[in-house]
Amino acid sequence: MKKTSTRLADGRELIYYDSRDDVVRDAVDERPLPQVTTASEIRHDRLLGDSVAVASHRQGRTYHPPADECPLCPSREGRHSEIPAADYDVAVFENRFPSLAGGTGRCEVVCFTSDHHASFADLTEEQAALVLEAWTDRTAELSALPDVEQVFCFENRGAEIGVTLGHPHGQIYAYPFVTPRTERMLASATEHAERTGGRNLFDDVVADELADGSRVVLEGEHWVAFVPYAAHWPYEVHLYPRRRVPDLLALNEDARTEFPQLYLEVLRRFDRIFGEGEPPTPYIAAWHQAPVRAPHRDGFALHLELFTIRRTPGKLKFLAGSESGMNVFINDVPPEAAAQRLREVAST
């Protein structure tokens, strides 16, 4: 992998990740862009104990542009985008409309491919491996920033999820705090260790799913994918490395090599679960990594959670009163049935 860092016209960082070492990245951003100004602020909720980012400057962000005006496509004659090059493998840049900025974290956009009409599931294993390298490198760089407590790599796919740019891409949030969801996992892990004489909760969850088997979707030598016992979403898959590690940096070479194979297969199954003729399945794919400075962070287990809000052809799972008002999820699809369906649509 070759990494090339440069700057856009307004001073934001742009990083190219190339599979070939001989690629030269010297294209210059010629747009007359003003310096980015943000109004991001972190406010603490005293009742719930969590944090809320207030970012009023995001109201003017790009919203569903035509394909020929996509800001994530390579630049071409007469139309300049966020990426000055005429082509690229993987590109990462600071978000022009960040939710977190100015001493309150950082937001980056990760473009998986220059092909506007592709999706992550369309990538080759080599391309997916390069994205994994980019996620890992950005985790290392962002974790070193003094105001960052947790790095979150994720992808939102589909207009139903709220995606406003159709180009295949994800994001990275470098939070200046530990997220509420991770805090809950850490608290559960601590309680489990105290109750079981020091056993690791994440290890026990994976072992129990493998022992039961009814919710296992896919197994590799170094990774396992399963629908969790108490899945919140109609179709939800968790992907764990068999050897527990706290973050992407700690994955060994064998796990890195196998990951693209399993992940691409799971994504392709997601696009088949609702049958032919259905539009691509909307989903969120979220990497859970240990907080940067958490005590005993080696006890946390890196894993990827993938889920869709579609519950059946043509119907979405909306977060209604119970979910949005009280955070109590009601799942329409039994996890065992979801796992069975995901096994049925395996690639042949």
- Residues labelled catalytic: 169
Cα–Cα distance measured from residue 57 to residue 66, given in angstroms and rounded to the nearest whole number: 22
* Residues forming beta bridges with residue 224, ordered by sequence position: 219, 240
Which residues lie closer than 8 Å to 94 by C-beta, 6 or more apart?
8, 12, 13, 14, 36, 106, 107, 108, 109
Neighbours of 192 (CB within 10 A): 17
DSSP-H helix ranges across the chain: 125-143, 180-196, 201-212, 253-270, 326, 335-344
- Of 90, 91, 88, the C-alpha closest to 13 is 91
- 185's tokens: 């996992």
Report the residue count for the chain.
Answer: 348
- The answer to whether 92 and 134 have CB atoms below 8 angstroms apart is yes
Which residues lie closer than 8 Å to 197 by C-beta, 6 or more apart?
none
